Amino acid sequence: MTPHISKSNTAFAAFCEKHGIRRLTLYGSALRGDFGSDNDIDLLIEFEPNRIPRL
């Protein structure tokens, strides 16, 4: 069974705005459709110029 990543665009937009994210890009197996329970999720995150990301 292939797990699905499901969230509304509104939820993603609110998350990005809250954290100063300009662009959030999903790539890899999650985007290709061969994502499985043993895969990770590959994200590329571009922050707004005035935001300093912290862990």
**pTM given for the model:** 0.67
Tens of pLDDT, residues 36-45: 888 888 999 9
Calculate the dihedral angle through the C-alpha atoms of 45, 39, 9, 26, rounding to the nearest 10 degrees.
40
Instruction: Tell me how far apart the alpha carbons of residues 18 and 10 are, in angstroms, rounded to a whole number.
Output: 12
Tens of pLDDT, residues 1-48: 445 566 678 888 999 999 999 999 988 887 887 888 888 889 999 999
Q: What string of DSSP letters covers the chain?
A: --------HHHHHHHHHHTTEEEEEEETHHHHT---TT---EEEEEE-TT-----
